[in-house]
Amino acid sequence: MSIQNKYLLSVLDGLKVRNAHEPEFLQAVTEVLESLEPVIDADPRYEKMNIIGRLVEPERVVMFRVPWTDDAGNVQVNRGYRVQFNSAIGPYKGGLRLHPTVNLSVIKFLGFEQIFKNSLTTLPMGGGKGGSDFDPKGKSDAEIMRFCQSFMTELFRHIGPDTDVPAGDIGVGGREIGFLFGQYKRLRNEWSGVLTGKGLTYGGSLARTQATGYGLCYFANAYLKANGQSFEGKKVVVSGSGNVAIYANQKATQLGGKVIAMSDSNGYIVDENGIDYKVIQVIKEQKRDRIKTYLNYVPTAKYVEGCSGIWSIPCDIALPCATQNEINGESAKMLIANGCIGVFEGANMPSTPEAITAYQEAGIFFGPAKAANAGGVATSGLEMSQNSERLSWSFEEVDNKLKGIMEGIYAACADAAEKYGMAGNIQAGANIAGFLKVADAMLAQGVC
Ligand code: NDP
Ligand code: 2IT
């Protein structure tokens, strides 16, 4: 789809000039602006108040030095980021990613996506994201702690429970959130719900750990159901084997699917009998080991070196849960040729533009990340509510709310797509429904 609207084109052209070295960010913005064309055409206020020009510019970008000492006594330095993208509908909210591929483009694309995702949850959260190019792989607990303490020693002055509330993402789970929280509390002399994904003994919410993976399957299930389909008897391929992938496996299996393949950045495993998520929990959450060690638990399974080959495995449903651009046009065509009926994105922006075009041309179901993986941040929003109330809700209560939110997101995307003449296009519906709430809040708040 190419943009015709002159205003949208001028914003995008300007952005390309000013951010030529930020390919992931430009990819994310282009995808959204293409869907917004009918909305901008229909209401002149968005152009008049330059809503799009303001939306694509982060309210604030913080970049900082993160010095730390490794176990051998060497002084290391990494680069830290927090992009506070949009606070029109609530405090900035979004995860922290620790991975060697992190740079400003990656954090800006994630922060931009987060604006619309958070809006879709219906909870009052603005968009933000942060992280560092620190590589947690092979580091000791003590090194992780020293890094997290140093990272928070700068970050603390920019965040707060009503200002900006970070959480986990790739490389940031319960262990890291604990170290970050401890350092924030120490620096501020204040106990507050400044981070989500906290441990259950200090303000965390039940079901937050499971929320992104469960939410992905609740969303996919609602989508499939609306089209007379279900997970029942379906072969499912899940990429990744981290937080999102593990609980996507568990829920897809509970809903009647069979997860036959999972991966990490080194390679993938295939087990036609179905992969038990508990084995992956042991390998990844307890031992922090590689996926190929699955063969020590299930010797009949197969391991293949290299992660992108996972999309050549015939399956009915694909749940990409690893990282951005992990499904390219060629992989998408392979999935479709092998009979895949739907791709639901657990990771952020896992499909390249060519892959999305292939899904659309084939007419398969496509659940875009900002809708399909919103369950994690939605449950972070529920954690914030519990912290404010000084109460904790039961697992069932949080899980039921999460399910309701994901079903509501599917309905909102379907309705928005239909209203703007693109019935069935859930990708466009997600962008439009997410945009409208933020844009209308921005209109109400004047030029700021
Ligand atoms: P984890 O760190 O728990 O797991 C990441 C998984 O993806 C690992 O299996 C990792 O393999 C693999 N992976 C990461 N980078 C790459 C890469 N460059 N190439 C191949 N594989 C890679 O992260 P999460 O499960 O939390 O996050 C996964 C995705 O879901 C990300 O896109 C994240 O932004 C998104 N997401 C996460 C949410 C959350 O609540 N955690 C919420 C919504 C979206 P290896 O161990 O070998 O690196
Ligand atoms: O991409 C995401 O939505 C997340 N990593 C979760 C963010 C959050 O604040 O829970």
- Mean residue pLDDT of the chain comes to 98
pLDDT number for residue 362: 98
Q: How far is the CA of 336 from the centre of ligand 2 (A)?
A: 29
Quickly state the pLDDT bin for 11 (edges 50, 70, 90): very high
Report the residue among 106, 108, 129, 170 best suited for mutation to probe ligand 1: largest number of ligand atoms under 8 A from its CB: 170
Nearest ligand 2 atom to the CA of 348 is: 1
Extents of the domains making up the chain: 6-55, 60-190, 211-372
Closest of 134, 293, 318, 115 to residue 216, by C-alpha: 318
Residues with C-beta less than 6 Å from any ligand 1 atom: 99, 101, 168-171, 212, 240-245, 264-266, 307, 321-323, 346-348, 373, 376
Nearest ligand to the CA of 159 is: 2
Number of Cβ within 10 Å of residue 266's Cβ equals: 12
Q: pLDDT digits over 270-318, tens only? A: 999 999 999 999 999 999 999 999 999 999 999 999 999 999 999 999 9
Q: pLDDT digits over 105-132, tens only? A: 999 999 999 999 999 999 999 999 999 9
Q: pLDDT digits over 68-95, tens only? A: 999 999 999 999 999 999 999 999 999 9
- Indicate the angle between helix axes 426-444 and 23-42, nearest 10 degrees: 80
Closest of 448, 344, 363, 321 to residue 406, by C-alpha: 344
Class of domain 60-190: alpha beta
**Same fold: 60-190 with 211-372:** yes
Quickly state the pLDDT bin for 1 (edges 50, 70, 90): low
Helices and strands in the chain, H and E counts: 17, 12
Nearest ligand 2 atom to the CA of 94 is: 9
Q: How far is the CA of 364 from the centre of ligand 2 (A)?
A: 27
CA nearest ligand 1 atom 13, residue: 322
Report the CATH number of the 211-372 domain: 3.40.50.720
Distance in angstroms (rounded) separating the CA atoms of residues 349 and 105: 13
Task: Write out the catalytic residue numbers.
Answer: 129
0.95 surpassed by pTM: yes
